[in-house]
Amino acid sequence: MWLIPGFASAYFLFRRRLKSAGRYGQIAAVGRRVTAGVSALVYRLPRRAARFAFTRPVRKSFLPKGVPVRLTFTSPSKALSKTLGALARIAHSARLPLKSPTVATWLYFAAFLLVVTLIVGGATRLTQSGLSITSWKPISGVVPPQDLPAWQAEFENYKHIPQFKQINPHMTLGQFQAIYWWEWGHRILARLLGLVYLGGFLFLLWAREIPKRVIWRCGMLGVLVLVQGGVGWLMVASGLHGRLFVAPEMLMLHLFVALSLLIVTVWTGAEAGDGAPRGRGAPVSWRLGAGVMLGLIVGQCLLGALVAGNQAGLVYNTWPDMDGQFLPRIDWSNGALAFVHDQTLVQFVHRMNAYLVFAYAWGFAVVFGAKCQDTGLKAHAVTLAGLVTVQAALGVMTLITAVDFHLALLHQFVAITLVIVATAFLWRVARADRVFRKMGF
Ligand code: HEM
């Protein structure tokens, strides 16, 4: 039912604009189909409710004179395909704006929410709460247990998994509730994200607010959110049988999709807010250099996920050596899988790649600083290198404190910040053709 006030406010907000666009009746019909389609599909309302929603007459006073509106009953699947067709027609319309601060704000807000979700996800992992909810109920899971029997039933489900039996056999119901709330909060934020991405996309497309050149990217973000929901569940499922924690490679995949979502969101937000036609851009070498920087940082984050997933921060808590050695003995009995599952090797690789990222970031900042004449861009490159330094120091502190909760969370937060700053840097370099033309390229 909450969809109705949502669409009603959207309706009034854009009525004037739509009227002036002269397509009011058509668009109102599309909106009605979306509402009915979504309610029928998501909530599985009986057909009668769908029929009511489709055939309700449009109040004449809402429509500009002379606009013919014909609404006929159709099945939810037909309504969906018609709605998609209508949205596709809007997407191909010539009257879309070149840039849109509204779309940029929407995407930056989504990115902010994504960062919050990532941090809560980090806290969920660090408090070992991730396996407390053993089922996947995208709709009904919104409501947490309401009374003592419901809590006990949830606790019983948790008692069946190896993590309870081997690590937490003495856990009380109160302790279980504490870990449950972390996971529940993470999942609620994820649902909110889905709503913001998908709902925002459909609404802004319907309102003809999304610039043409970013439409497919905005749509792709909606798809990625859904994919991430599925990956999240597969990750949880990987820890319910035969393991004490989730599979490290699934944690890495979950982080990878989240970071991809973040990168595309920030990039698309910048594109939507800047309507200038794409120019020649910086020379390929600079774009490549900034791209490699982003790639190295994302790669380092994924290696961090392997460290976290293998609880490899709890061993070799010394730096720069690893318990007095450069590289302790590695168990190669499972072959190349050691790169994913061996605590020693994953920690070693995360350390070594950190040095590489550090050297690259500073090398790039120095060379770029010497050649680039734009002080803003120069400052951006130096900030990136500075942040890498802070992050490396935080990593060392996280390690020598054997994963102190606050330090580890800060290490994750700065990693996410780094990804955002590196994405923004790459975007600016790709867009900064005027700056580079001044330099004689
Ligand atoms: C540019 C540098 C670095 C980046 C971008 C980075 C990124 C990350 C990320 C994203 C994670 C968490 C993954 C997750 O929670 O799923 C992580 C975990 C970790 N990192 Fe780093 N890291 C860097 C440098 C370092 C360094 C130099 C060390 C230590 C020598 C280090 C030690 C650790 C440890 C011990 C963990 C596991 C913490 C846990 O269990 O929660 N990191 N890293």
Structure tokens at 78: 């037909």
Q: How confident is the model at residue 20 (pLDDT cuts 50, 70, 90)?
A: very low
Which whole number is the average pLDDT over 275-284?
Answer: 70
Q: Where are the domains of the chain?
A: 3-93, 99-276, 278-441
pLDDT at 13 over 60: no
pLDDT at 350 over 80: yes
pLDDT at 116 over 90: yes
Least confident range from 57-61, 257-261, 404-408: namely: 57-61
Percent of the chain past pLDDT 90, that is, above it, reads 66
CB atoms within 10 A of CB 337: 12
Question: Does 255 contact ligand 1 (Cβ within 6 A)?
Answer: yes
Q: What is the pLDDT of residues 213-243, one digit of tens each?
A: 899 999 999 999 999 999 999 999 999 998 9
Nearest atom in ligand 1 to 311's CA? 40
How much is the pLDDT for 337? Answer: 96
Which residue minimizes the CA distance to atom 31 of ligand 1?
395
Compute the distance from residue 411 Cα to the ligand 1 centre, in Å.
6
Q: Choose one of 307, 314, 410 to mutate for the ligand 1 pocket test, by most ligand atoms within 8 angstroms of C-beta.
A: 307
How much is the pLDDT for 37? Answer: 58
Q: DSSP assignment of 396-414, as one string?
A: HHHHHTTS-HHHHHHHHHH
Residues 6 or more apart whose CB falls under 8 angstroms from that of 330 comprise 338, 342, 344, 345, 348
How much is the pLDDT for 38? Answer: 56
Least confident range from 65-69, 160-164, 210-214, 279-283: namely: 65-69
| Ramachandran angles phi, psi of 19, nearest 5° | -60, -45
Q: What is the pLDDT of residues 363-407, one digit of tens each?
A: 999 998 888 888 888 999 999 999 999 999 999 999 999 999 999
Which residue minimizes the CA distance to atom 30 of ligand 1?
396
Question: Does 350 contact ligand 1 (Cβ within 6 A)?
Answer: yes
Which residue minimizes the CA distance to atom 19 of ligand 1?
304
Question: Does 25 contact ligand 1 (Cβ within 6 A)?
Answer: no
pLDDT at 296 over 70: yes
Structure tokens at 220: 């792709």
pLDDT at 261 over 70: yes
Highest mean pLDDT among 15-24, 38-47, 106-115, 128-137 belongs to 106-115
- Greater confidence (207 vs 314) lies with 314
Question: Does 297 contact ligand 1 (Cβ within 6 A)?
Answer: yes
Is-cis flag, bond preceding 248, omega within 30? no
Rounded (10°) CA dihedral 305, 197, 111, 204: 160
Question: Does 121 contact ligand 1 (Cβ within 6 A)?
Answer: no
Q: Is the pTM of this model over 0.85?
A: no
Which residue minimizes the CA distance to atom 35 of ligand 1?
313
DSSP state of 66: T
Nearest atom in ligand 1 to 122's CA? 15
Least confident range from 51-55, 78-82, 180-184: namely: 51-55
How much is the pLDDT for 84? Answer: 76
Compute the distance from residue 231 Cα to the ligand 1 centre, in Å.
22
- Greater confidence (388 vs 41) lies with 388
- Greater confidence (359 vs 285) lies with 359
